Amino acid sequence: MSVDLLSFYKFFLLLIRASFIVFFAPVIGSRLIPSVAKIALSVFLAFLAFSSVGAVHIPQSYMEMFLTVFKEMLIGLSVGFASRLVFDGIQFGGQYVGYMMGFAVVNVIDPQSEAHLPIISQFENIIAILIFLAIGGHLWFFSAFSDSLAILPLGFQLGSLSWIPFIIKLFGNIFVIAIKVNAPVFLVLFLIQLVMAVIARVVPQMNIFMVGFPIQIAVGFFLLFVSVKAMGYLFSDLFFSMREHIYTIMKLMAG
C-alpha cells in the first residue's frame, strides 16, 4: 500500500468519525442545516486533525476494515445519541404539560426532527436551544471530536461493553429530565384536575369542561412564565452533565 493510500485511509477514518458526530449531534445536526454545510464542516474537522494523528494500523482483510469503519461510526452515534437524550427529555416534559393544559391537538412542526409536537413542547425546546447556544454547547462537539482522538485513537479496540448499560441508563433519564423541568406545572395542573373532578361529582349540573379548560390554560401559562428563569439554570446544569456523559462514554469504550 503506497503512502498516498495510507494517507487517504487515515483521512477517511477521520471523516467518518467527524461526520457522524456532526450529523447526529443536536442543533448542529439539525435538518435545518443544509447537508452540504454539514459535510463541509466534517471535511474541515478531518483536515484539521489529519496532521496531529499518527500512523494508523493497516487492515489485513476487508472484514477488519469494515469493523474499523463501524467502530468510528459507533463513536459518532454514541456521542450524538447521548446528547439528544437531554432535548428529548425536555420535549417529552413539554408534550405532557401541553396535554394537561388541553393543547393536545395544538401542534407545530419541530424544525430539528420535522415531527409534529405540542406547542408547549416546542416552546421549551426553543428555550433549551437558545441556552445551549448561549453557553457554547455547539462547540463542545468539536472539542469532543478532538479529544476523542486521544481517548480513542483511530482503529481503536473496544475495551469493554460497559458503555452500553450506561447509554441505556441515560435513556431512562428522559423521564427524570421531563419531571425535573416541569415538576411545578405537573403538580399544580394535577391538583386543578383533581379539584375539577370533585366538583363534577358534587355539582353534576355544572359544565366542568367549559370552566376547567380556561383555568388550566391560564394557570399553565402563568406557571410557565414564572418558571422560565428557573428553566434556564436547570437547562444549563443538564447540558453540562450531558458534556460529562459524552466523555464518560468515550472512556468506557476505551476500557
Distance between CA atoms of 30 and 114, rounded to whole angstroms? 10
Query: What predicted TM-score, i.e. pTM, was given to this entire model?
Result: 0.82
CB neighbourhood size of 25 (10 A): 26
Distance between CA atoms of 23 and 77, rounded to whole angstroms? 9
As beta bridge partners, residue 107 has: 118
| Closest CA relative to residue 254, chosen from 168, 166, 161, 169 | 161
| Closest CA relative to residue 100, chosen from 199, 203, 221 | 221
116-118/107-109 β-pairing: antiparallel
What pLDDT is recorded for position 2?
A: 44
If you search the block for the grid coordinates 383555568, which residue do you land on?
215
Question: In this model, does residue 245 exceed pLDDT 80?
Answer: yes
Question: In this model, does residue 44 exceed pLDDT 90?
Answer: yes
What is the three-state SS of the chain? CCHHHHHHHHHHHHHHHHHHHHHHCCCCCCCCCCHHHHHHHHHHHHHHHHCCCCCCCCCCCHHHHHHHHHHHHHHHHHHHHHHHHHHHHHHHHHHHHHHHHCCCCCEEECCCCCCEEEHHHHHHHHHHHHHHHHCCHHHHHHHHHHHHHHHCCCCCCCCCCCHHHHHHHHHHHHHHHHHHHHHHHHHHHHHHHHHHHHHHHHCCCCCHHHHHHHHHHHHHHHHHHHCHHHHHHHHHHHHHHHHHHHHHHHHHHHC
pLDDT tens for each residue of 103-117: 765 555 555 555 566
What pLDDT is recorded for position 1?
A: 45
Distance between CA atoms of 35 and 12, rounded to whole angstroms? 18
Distance between CA atoms of 103 and 67, rounded to whole angstroms? 47
Question: In this model, does residue 54 exceed pLDDT 70?
Answer: yes
Q: What are the two backbone dihedrals, phi and then psi, of residue 110, each rounded to the nearest 5 degrees?
A: -75, 120
C-alpha cell at 248: 464518560
Residue with the bigger pLDDT between 36 and 9: it is: 36
Half-sphere exposure of 67 (CA within 13 A, CB side): 12
Distance between CA atoms of 230 and 2, rounded to whole angstroms? 59
Range of the domain at 238: 3-254
pLDDT tens for each residue of 72-102: 888 888 888 888 888 888 888 888 888 777 7
In total, how many domains does the chain have? 1
If you search the block for the grid coordinates 416546542, which residue do you land on?
122
